[in-house]
Amino acid sequence: MNDYDVDDIAFLTGDSRFGVNKRALYEPSGMVDRVRRVIVSPKRACCIAIIVFLCILSIALIAAFSRPFVCCACKENVDSEPDSLVGQQQGNDSQSSLSSNGTSSVVTPPTATNGEPFPWTSVRLPDFVVPLSYSISLHPNLTTFVNKGTVNVTFTLKEPQKFIVLHVKELELSNFHLETGNTVVGVRKTLIYVKYEQLYIEFDNILGENVPYSLSIDFKGNLSEKLEGFYLSSYRTSAGETRYLATTHFEPTYARLAFPCFDEPSLKATFRVSIIREGRHISLFNMPIAQTKKLSDNLYVDYYNDTVMMSTYLVAFIVSDHLNVTAVTANNVTVSVYSPAEQLHQAAFALEVATSVLDFYDSFFGIPYPLPKQDLVAIPDFGAGAMENWGLTTYRETAILTDSNETSVGKIQQVALTITHELAHQWFGDLVTMSWWNDLWLNEGFASFVENLGTDHVRPEWNMMDQFVLSKTQPALQLDSLASSHPISVKVDNPSDIESIFDTISYSKGAAIIYMLESFLGKTTLQRGLKTYLNTYKYKNAKTEDLWRVLSLESHNMNVSLDVEAIMDTWTQQMGFPLVTIERKGNVVTAKQQRFLVGSSAEEDGVSSEFYSKYGYKWHIPLTYTTDKSSKPKLVWLNLGDAEFKVSSDVKWIKFNTNQTGFYRVMYSERDWRNLIEALKTDHTVFTAVDRASLLDDAFTLARNNLLDSTIPLEMAGYLTNETAYVPWITALECFMEMEMTLKERKSLRNLIEYFQRLLLPIVSEVGWKDQGTHLQRLLRPSILFIASHYGDEEVIDEALKRFREWKTNNVRCDEA
């Protein structure tokens, strides 16, 4: 999956609905979309708060005085519940707990669907089962919308046991059969526990250690439109005909909706699949077709080659009437893009990007793409946006199809990023997979970083690493400054908990700290380390510390000698980020760190935070800086504390956090802020475009949180009358909107808007209306024109209305009139 936008509402409210979070990651994130926010005056906010409080108080009083009376007989029945469950358990949930007065209270044991006690009590599967391979036959009927199938899973045990536990959800099961060699083992009991989506199978005999067993189960399920598991999708042709297809989405815990399986990422196995289909359809799987047989006049069965070792959430299969365009990479990998026939002409750009970036990743990761083909499929109804199924990546139609005459330049860039993100996963996530979902960021953070490298290779003129701070660093800084944030690496067990961490912290902060890691390790060291890591753990699972260990060894080999694990643990195991405060006396610079937290003081960090930090919210900070005397970045480390160092006595200005590669904010003294402002107004090109953006971002953010006088960022923004670059302007527009919301319905707002209007006049004239220029100029134009009209620029508004009427009346494109 890909992180292209921020679901800030879902994040702030703790919305863990997976589809909501993931859909937001793929929505456009232009300026027009970002400014559509709810603005409420302080008076209205107070009124709403009072009304909500009174409602809550009323409900609480009603609940308090209408509590049901508990009779003694009922209490006796409760007390007579069993204290514990009989049966082997591992990592089990506790069956009893202590109440506030220290007495033991009984927790109700899990109950199977047939009313019997469910013997296994952990949400995690037993670790004594080792799945080896699956053989799955499927018959999805696109007339009755029912799927029937059989799964045959081969496994061994690490220790003798009489039972196993698998995952299953919303399937009808029958015909359980277990054998080893020519010996059949009787199935004594099968139980299903709905809450944990588990299937318990108990056998007549104890199963031996390291003996291969083959378990066969028939299953039946509906092809619903839930966008999860094996589900039903549809589209309408230009003639109005509705056509159906069956497709899958299994991440994170939905493979169990399609077939009974060991649905955890560390339980890798190989998969062999056969699919029965009608003659008017094709089928697709992670691997190429081995052979097709005709069953009847209109029924065929496709048999597929076995996969490599892979996790269940990466399995995918599709039955549809899609057509495809195909190309071949330099390393002889067949790349195909599938779509409905009437949209196939929109697949050319996706095919170009995929073919080019696969060759780039072969070189970058140092491991050839391990499968013989890579299919990219446009799905009409797809909640996640895109999914990295190994060899069969799936996409929402708007995330892969483009029309060269109609698709906006911003949308074309988004499509490229989505494709390069999913294909980066073919190595980072598919070839090497996190051991458990608490290290999700290891998959998503790296893919969110590498997508920019891949897109930069395909379109170097887009300057993707300059745009990185807009799409990843700045949104992550905004959300990670809240008390509602969470560490990158966080303990999760239940499916609902797993779904909730597919958010900006895992994606964007994960990518931002990898960017920071690259900045102090060096590109060569990082790339060499990634190659070693992928070769060491290919077709296996890994944890965050495994990567840090490899990178530490590689840094020693490159004579850098850094303890990467010690450094990066301070960024992954505690939430938030530091504010580095700079004090300069003569040639001595003192850098002090404290956590930057919106709405709370630094002293409250350790008390108010939900997440305790063993580091006391201190970080190993790679503090980089340039000066007016040297544009070459220098590095100073703040190791869980402050630092002091010297600069030349004739240095006038110092700019810290070079190119905003570090995940922290910087506060200067007033004198240093003034010196930086003077430098910007004299010749803003002495700073890179990203450095100019980071100065604006820090200054406006600090002022918004009452840490800096607002005159500083407003005076700094004055240099924008000479600015034409995309990254600083988009940062500035975001800052303008935030300040506008802060001053909403205050008298000073009119003066602020008039100031913004004056700043915008030169750039409005510069961008014009015609869709021309470089990629970044074309990206900037709609944002500038929108914000100018938002702030009441009458010339822009009149011109927009004129062009709209020309389009409506004479069908003249708005960018050509």
Residue showing tokens 């290919």: 538
The CA distance from 138 to 273, in Å, is 8
Which of 197, 251, 422, 444 is labelled catalytic?
A: 422
CB neighbour list of residue 167: distance below 8 Å, 6 or more residues apart: 125, 197, 198, 199, 253, 255, 256, 260, 261, 262, 263, 264
β partners of residue 554: none
Q: How far is CA 96 from the centre of its chain?
A: 37
The CA distance from 430 to 276, in Å, is 27
User: Is there a contact between 159 and 209 (Cβ–Cβ < 8 Å)?
Assistant: yes
Max intra-chain CA distance, the chain:
89
What string of DSSP letters covers 631-678?
EEEEEEEEESS-EEEE--TT---EEESGGG-SSSEEE--HHHHHHHHH
Residue showing tokens 């011109």: 799
User: Is there a contact between 652 and 628 (Cβ–Cβ < 8 Å)?
Assistant: yes
Peptide bond into 252 cis (omega under 30): yes
Query: Any alpha helices (H) in 140-194, and if so which ranges?
Result: none
The CA distance from 709 to 153, in Å, is 66
Residue 551, phi-psi category: left (phi > 0), alpha (psi -120 to 50), beta (remainder): alpha
∠ CA 591-593-597 to the nearest 5 degrees?
A: 140
Q: At what angle do helices 544-557 and 440-458 cross, to 10 degrees?
A: 50
User: Is there a contact between 138 and 149 (Cβ–Cβ < 8 Å)?
Assistant: yes
Which pair of structure tokens corresponds to residue 356?
A: 């080019």
The CA distance from 359 to 342, in Å, is 29
Q: What is the DSSP letter of 483?
A: T
CB atoms within 10 A of CB 748: 9
The CA distance from 414 to 463, in Å, is 14
Which pair of structure tokens corresponds to residue 4?
A: 């292209």
What string of DSSP letters covers 267-316?
--BEEEEEEEEETT-EEEESS-EEEEEE-SSSEEEEEEPPP-SB-GGG--
Which pair of structure tokens corresponds to residue 572?
A: 């992954």
Q: How far apart are the first and last CA of the chain?
A: 39
What string of DSSP letters covers 342-361?
GGGGGGHHHHHHHHHHHHHH
Q: How is the beta sheet containing 198-207 ordered, strand by strand?
A: 161-167, 198-207, 187-193
User: Is there a contact between 771 and 781 (Cβ–Cβ < 8 Å)?
Assistant: yes
∠ CA 383-388-394 to the nearest 5 degrees?
A: 50
The CA distance from 295 to 278, in Å, is 10
The CA distance from 501 to 441, in Å, is 9
Residue showing tokens 């937001």: 24
CB neighbour list of residue 90: distance below 8 Å, 6 or more residues apart: 122, 126, 127, 128
Q: Beta strand pairing status for 334-339 and 323-328?
A: antiparallel
The CA distance from 723 to 253, in Å, is 48
Q: Is 422 a catalytic residue?
A: yes
The CA distance from 743 to 761, in Å, is 22
Which pair of structure tokens corresponds to residue 702?
A: 């600090």
Positions annotated as catalytic residues are 422
